[in-house]
Amino acid sequence: PQAKKIKIKDIANYIGKRVEVHGWVHRLRIQKGHAFIILRDGSGFLQCVLTGDLANAYQTLTLTVESSLAVFGTINKLPEGKSAPGGVEASVDYYRIIGLAPSGKDSFTNKIQEGTDPNLLLDRRHLALRGETLSAVMKVRAKALAAVRRFYQEEDLTEVTPPCMVQTQVEGGSTLFSMNYYGEKAYLTQSSQLYLETCLPALGDVFCIQESFRAEKSHTRRHLSEYTHIEAELPFITFEDLLDHIEKFVVHIVKYIMEDPVSGALVKKLNPGFVMPKEPFKRLQYVEALDWLNENGVLNEDGTPFKFGDDIQEAAERKMTDTIGVPILLIRFPVEIKSFYMKKCADDPRVTESVDLLMPTVGEIMGGSMRIDGKDELLKGFKREGIDPTNYYWFTDQRVYGTCPHGGYGLGSERLLAWLCNRFTVKDCSLYPRFMGRCTP
């Protein structure tokens, strides 16, 4: 009978029918006149069974993992108790090898397992990506970005694409990657925030999903040199509005990700203990966090108790978040540990209208603030940071040609995924991670 060429994800619609499926040999088992192939096509996994002459054929006996195949067979529902992906199996009557993968020392399995070099899986990322965990995280990642776009579309934010090659800094000079731009000094962008701010009078609420770059000179679980930055900027809001928006954003994107049959199932598999974040999030002021840390015996990096003005470093931040165990909006950081553009609180000029969103297991996944909207105040911010404002004329003009109160935030997509998918490091959430010492493959 005729066979329809289908994707494995649609297999349930073809019970009792003959189909043609293309994919890669994910797993292979040959025993007593039967060959079992788990075929993978990127949309799902399908158990294929070969019997009789087909199972005993030389082509089958010498088949290798990761070979690509065209498989023809009839789809059968498996009886209760027999397990296979989707509860179905293809009874194969014919198959063709498209690309035979090597055997022996060059086999796929050897390529990702040989030796004890901890860098092996990073050097062989192109092969490791085929594994169940990494490919699952990449599927969730795609769905997460779609969920973000869906939320912004529903809330009517306009998507823009700011440049990655820039001549300004946003988050401090020490993590800038610089480059030679036709003989001029330029940088890889650390954040698209300043560009988003300039879009407000033209487009209203805006967002972007753009790569950001940070020359992080240390190895941590949550720092990359290049990461996918989800940023939004909103005019005519208050700090309270910003916090409410962030809460709504996070709750909605997680809901969309978990409601999606593909990403919902994958997150549950990768992170069986996952708890949906609930509104309202716990709000904690920076000074209250210091009290919490000191009361709970968590010390500063130099071994002393925390005092006003100290940065709460990764380890302490995670300790606090893991112990409290729910998402925290940490707000009102001191001026001196935050960026030049952050607006001061009207009731206490020592602190800013700033927020970090902290999640258990990861800590900070998002940072945001209200922005200084007066030109003179902004120039003072530049001065405090030792930044020459000349190159920022277009940003400063935002405050000249019809300024407005505004604020926004940036969410690190790899950190969001590390939290959602329960990954130890953000490196597991990036397709080809870049960090100090690695820019390949």
Choose, by CB under 6 A, the member of 368, 372, 399, 423 that binds ligand 4AD: 368
Task: Select the binding partner of residue 191 from Mg ion, ligand 4AD, none (C-beta < 5 to 8 A, by kind).
Answer: ligand 4AD
Quick one: 298 or 366, whose CB is closer to ligand 4AD?
A: 366
Among 4-12, 363-371, 384-392, 430-438, the segment contacting Mg ion (CB under 5 A): 363-371
| Cα–Cα dist 96/436, whole Å | 44
| Burial (0-12, 13-18, 19+ Cβ within 10 Å), 311 | middle
> Is the CB of residue 85 less than 8 Å from the CB of residue 401?
no
The least CB distance from residue 317 to ligand 4AD, in Å, is 11
| Max intra-chain CA distance, the chain | 83
Among 126-134, 195-203, 258-266, 362-370, the segment contacting Mg ion (CB under 5 A): 362-370
| Burial (0-12, 13-18, 19+ Cβ within 10 Å), 278 | exposed
The least CB distance from residue 419 to ligand 4AD, in Å, is 10
Name the E strands within 353-389.
Answer: 354-359, 363-370
Parallel, antiparallel, or unpaired for β 348-352 and 88-99?
unpaired
Applying CB under 6 A, does 409 fall inside the site for ligand 4AD? yes
| Cα–Cα dist 242/248, whole Å | 10
The least CB distance from residue 301 to ligand 4AD, in Å, is 18
Applying CB under 5 A, does 363 fall inside the site for Mg ion? no
Task: Select the binding partner of residue 414 from ligand 4AD, Mg ion, none (C-beta < 5 to 8 A, by kind).
Answer: ligand 4AD
Quick one: 367 or 381, whose CB is closer to Mg ion?
A: 367
Applying CB under 6 A, does 231 fall inside the site for ligand 4AD? yes
Among 71-79, 125-133, 199-207, 359-367, the segment contacting ligand 4AD (CB under 6 A): 359-367
In sequence order, what DSSP letters do the residues of 333-344 get, joined into one string? -BGGGS-TTBPE
Choose, by CB under 6 A, the member of 136, 365, 372, 429 that binds ligand 4AD: 365
Choose, by CB under 5 A, the member of 367, 381, 408, 412 that binds Mg ion: 367
Quick one: 306 or 333, whose CB is closer to ligand 4AD?
A: 333
Contact letters for Mg ion, residues 9-28 (x by CB under 5 A): --------------------
Name the E strands within 78-176.
Answer: 88-99, 158-159, 165-166
Q: Torsion angle of alpha carbons 151, 152, 155, 161, nearest 10°?
A: 180
**93 Cβ contact list (under 8 Å, min separation 6):** 18, 54, 72, 73, 74
| Cα–Cα dist 30/73, whole Å | 18
- Residue number with the smallest Cβ distance to Mg ion: 367
- Judged by CB under 6 A, the chain residues 189 through 218 that form the site for ligand 4AD are 191, 193, 214, 216
Among 103-111, 305-313, 361-369, 373-381, the segment contacting Mg ion (CB under 5 A): 361-369
Among 127-135, 154-162, 219-227, 316-324, the segment contacting ligand 4AD (CB under 6 A): 219-227
The least CB distance from residue 430 to ligand 4AD, in Å, is 9
Count of CB atoms situated within 10 Å of the CB of 118 = 7
**AA identity, residue 259:** E
Candidates 253, 59, 300; CA nearest to 153 is: 253
**152 Cβ contact list (under 8 Å, min separation 6):** 159, 207, 232
- Judged by CB under 6 A, the chain residues 389 through 408 that form the site for ligand 4AD are 408
Placement of tokens 């800094």 in the chain: 169
Task: Select the binding partner of residue 136 from Mg ion, ligand 4AD, none (C-beta < 5 to 8 A, by kind).
Answer: none
| Cα–Cα dist 388/168, whole Å | 10
Applying CB under 6 A, does 366 fall inside the site for ligand 4AD? yes
Applying CB under 6 A, does 414 fall inside the site for ligand 4AD? yes
Placement of tokens 């020459």 in the chain: 388
Candidates 28, 22, 24, 23; CA nearest to 3 is: 22
Q: What are the residues binding Mg ion (CB under 5 A)?
A: 367
Q: What are the residues binding ligand 4AD (CB under 6 A)?
A: 170-171, 191, 193, 214, 216, 223-224, 227, 229, 231, 364-368, 408-410, 412, 414-415, 426
